[in-house]
Structure 1
Amino acid sequence: MNHGQSTPARIIPVDPADRESLLAWNAVLGEGFNAGREAAWWASEQTILARFGDPKPERLSVLLVASLDGEMVGAAGADVDPGDPAEVEISVLPTHRRRGIGTALAAALRETLAGHAEVVQAETYSEAGISFALAHGMRIGNQEHRLLLDLPVDRAALLGSSDAVRAAPGIEVRTWRGACPEDLIQDWARLSTQMEADVPMGDLTRPAPRSEVTEIRRSEQRMDAQGWTLVRGLAYDPGTAVGYTEIFVNRHDPEILTQDDTLVDRAHRGRGIGRALKLANLENLAGVPEAESARWIQTYTALDNTPMLALNRSLGFRQADVLSILEGELRAG
């Protein structure tokens, strides 16, 4: 979220069915949001076209651009599922900040979302974005380190380390790419539900859990259509699934990979299972052709999640920046 003070700007809704307007909106939103950041991912044109070409039926999406003298200088977006907080993004190009454009976009978002959400959440990586959100009545709900692992990694060195040898005796890790195999889907659903309950969210409102098998399958289909290859692993303590991990590879833009969730069941922590999962999935990643051109893997870890921070750093991850997630009540006008 980036900020501004007061100058006239035309706020124009974007029709997601208008290909040219949709891609221009996505480009401006990403340019403002990622300005000055290292190795910052943004959705590719193919991904954004697929996303809005097959929208979730129950989701309200709001797309806005700010125009000044005929030039697009900012953009905003919001997605809200029934009963959940609205996820909003506001972005102003660096050369047009502090001119009221962000404020105008925020007001238009509030007006459009009225009656559809009671709470809004926004993400930013900048102090300016935090200040803007605080000035609009939001509060910091959670913060996470964004960590980067430079590629290629020396997998032989990682796998040959003494830590790897000692990790998780008796644990079997099953890995695959793409949709979850049918014989593993119930375990995946159970652990995904646990992750939704366990993931550190600070003071943020949690969305409703959505890890039923049918929802997982629909999500897999959507992600595949948007160009994502899912690289996944499950850890088993004979007969019982005790942890999972996944990496996302975008086939249209594989430069930055995302290490997403890693969960180990509370009763089995402290045995090296998280490390075993991540090492096995790095090996699994080596079989994905698109990943050969990747330069980084990024991951997010709560500031106070000391065990996961230590694990990620032992694998070679370094801190890039801090993600702040802010929340506030939707206020009209």
Structure 2
Amino acid sequence: MTAHADPSLTITPVDPADREALLAWNALLRDGFNAWREAAWWADGESVLAQHQDPKPGRTSVLLVARLDGTPVGAAGAEVDPGDPAEVEISVLPGHRRRGVGRALAGAVREALAGHAEVVQAETYSEAGVGFALDQGMRLGNQEHRLLRAMPLEPGPLAGASPSSGIEIRTWHGACPEELVEDWARLTTQMDADVPMGDLTRPASRGEVGELRRSEQRMDDQGWTLVRGLARHEGVAVGYTEILVNRHDPEILTQDDTLVDRAHRGRGIGRALKLANLENLRAVPEAAQARWIQTYTELDNAPMLALNRALGFREADVLSILEGELDGRA
């Protein structure tokens, strides 16, 4: 337990082996982070239990709860793999802000991460969150639109997707078929290099097949169904796309990465991939319970924004990602 200038404020770590404490921590972090946001996704309890009670080897996790006079009012979480920036989340319930809780949590996170990370990154969807991070010595690194599309899917908008001749699209659910896994690993490595990151530090690429298989297994263990599509031209993989469905809480689906090799852009492959994978989504039983599908696009990526709007997505809010040194230097 950590005491602060306000004697009524205490910060305590959460034992990931304590099921009820871990679930309460996740709900507290969610309620502060997602206050006033529309259709805001958050990891469900079962996924969080699987994540923290069977952690990734080598990963350092920090889980903290802040209390005022014994009442939980805020939470923080941090995850870091060796050599990567630490991903930090801090939230305070709306009725308890401007009392130093966020600053105290930020200080406690820095103490806990000492020796495990040099750089920290944090995400927020509010101007107040950006201002708080800037006050903590961070800098704005990148911004993306979060876009929403209502579910269920209607057949009309999904008709008429056909890429240039010679393009074959294959879709499936779950782990990558063995005959495609090398292609998938190569394209995801390319995505790691190509995705716009603004001024953010890139994490190490983990596109090798062994790491891919371990990631697929972890995702499955945490309750995720991977809905995937791959485009090939004359037998060579030239693009891929992926939708994430949480089997425990499928209300909000996530359209994740979509990549088309630079040499094959402008041929309708991205649109055809997305449409084929949306059709592929119909065969996932849990997807029938979804109310929304969300995706993210760089603010200045006009072609992808236009494609997403054509597919029925609309801008909901803006994700801001900030970065700074662990010691608070910008």
TM-score range, shorter chain: over 0.9
Work out whether residues 234 and 243 of structure 1, in 8 Å CA contact, stay in contact via their aligned partners in 2. Answer: yes
**Deviation string, structure 1 residues 199-219 (Cα, Å, up to 9, x no partner):** 010000000001111111111
Which of 282, 286, 298 matches 1:286? 282
Q: CA deviation at 1:20?
A: 1.1
Q: Distance in 2 between matches of 1:324 and 1:157?
A: 30
- TM-score using structure 2 length: 0.96
Spell out the pairing of 1:217-296 with structure 2 (5 A cutoff).
217-296=213-292
Q: Distance in 1 between matches of 2:222 and 2:245?
A: 11
Q: CA deviation at 1:154?
A: 1.9
Q: CA 1:171–1:64 in 2, change beyond 3 Å: closer, same or farther?
A: same
Q: CA deviation at 1:252?
A: 0.4
Which of 180, 185, 201 matches 1:184? 180
Which of 308, 312, 315 matches 1:316? 312
1:60 maps to 60
Q: CA deviation at 1:259?
A: 0.2
2:28 maps to 28
Q: Structure 2: which 5+ residue stretches go unaligned? A: none
CA RMSD across the alignment = 1.4
**Deviation string, structure 1 residues 126-155 (Cα, Å, up to 9, x no partner):** 011000000010010000000001112223
Q: Distance in 2 between matches of 1:157 and 1:201?
A: 31
SS at match of 1:42: coil
Q: Distance in 2 between matches of 1:153 and 1:26?
A: 30
Q: Distance in 2 between matches of 1:39 and 1:225?
A: 25
Q: Structure 1: which 5+ residue stretches go unaligned? A: 1-5
Q: CA deviation at 1:114?
A: 1.1
2:122 maps to 122
| Aligned residue type for 1:225 | D
Q: Distance in 1 between matches of 2:23 and 2:277?
A: 33
SS at match of 2:316: strand
Work out whether residues 47 and 226 of structure 1, in 8 Å CA contact, stay in contact via their aligned partners in 2. Answer: yes
- TM-score using structure 1 length: 0.95
- The reply to whether residue 331 of structure 1 matches residue 321 of structure 2 is no
Q: Distance in 2 between matches of 1:310 and 1:7?
A: 50
| Aligned residue type for 2:168 | E
2:49 maps to 49
**Deviation string, structure 1 residues 228-264 (Cα, Å, up to 9, x no partner):** 0000000011211000000000000000000000000
| Aligned residue type for 1:223 | M
| Aligned residue type for 1:149 | R
**Deviation string, structure 1 residues 85-126 (Cα, Å, up to 9, x no partner):** 010000000000000000000000111111111100000000
SS at match of 2:121: strand
SS at match of 1:154: coil
Q: Distance in 2 between matches of 1:61 and 1:223?
A: 17
Spell out the pairing of 1:70-149 with structure 2 (5 A cutoff).
70-149=70-149
SS at match of 1:152: coil
1:12 maps to 12
- The reply to whether residue 202 of structure 1 matches residue 177 of structure 2 is no
Q: Distance in 1 between matches of 2:98 and 2:123?
A: 19
Q: CA deviation at 1:157?
A: 3.5
Work out whether residues 7 and 101 of structure 1, in 8 Å CA contact, stay in contact via their aligned partners in 2. Answer: no
**Deviation string, structure 1 residues 144-181 (Cα, Å, up to 9, x no partner):** 00000111222334314xxx35x333211000000000
SS at match of 1:205: coil
Q: Distance in 1 between matches of 2:71 and 2:10?
A: 10
Q: Distance in 1 between matches of 2:6 and 2:31?
A: 21
Q: Distance in 1 between matches of 2:218 and 2:12?
A: 28
1:3 maps to none
Q: Distance in 2 between matches of 1:306 and 1:21?
A: 44
Q: Distance in 2 between matches of 1:304 and 1:157?
A: 25
Q: Distance in 1 between matches of 2:265 and 2:328?
A: 46
Q: CA 1:133–1:158 in 2, change beyond 3 Å: closer, same or farther?
A: same
Work out whether residues 176 and 231 of structure 1, in 8 Å CA contact, stay in contact via their aligned partners in 2. Answer: yes
Work out the percentage of aligned pairs sharing the same amino acid: 77
SS at match of 1:189: helix
**Deviation string, structure 1 residues 258-305 (Cα, Å, up to 9, x no partner):** 000000000000100000000100110000000001011100011111
Q: Report how many residues are paired.
A: 325
Work out whether residues 235 and 244 of structure 1, in 8 Å CA contact, stay in contact via their aligned partners in 2. Answer: yes
Q: CA deviation at 1:83?
A: 0.5
Work out whether residues 114 and 332 of structure 1, in 8 Å CA contact, stay in contact via their aligned partners in 2. Answer: no
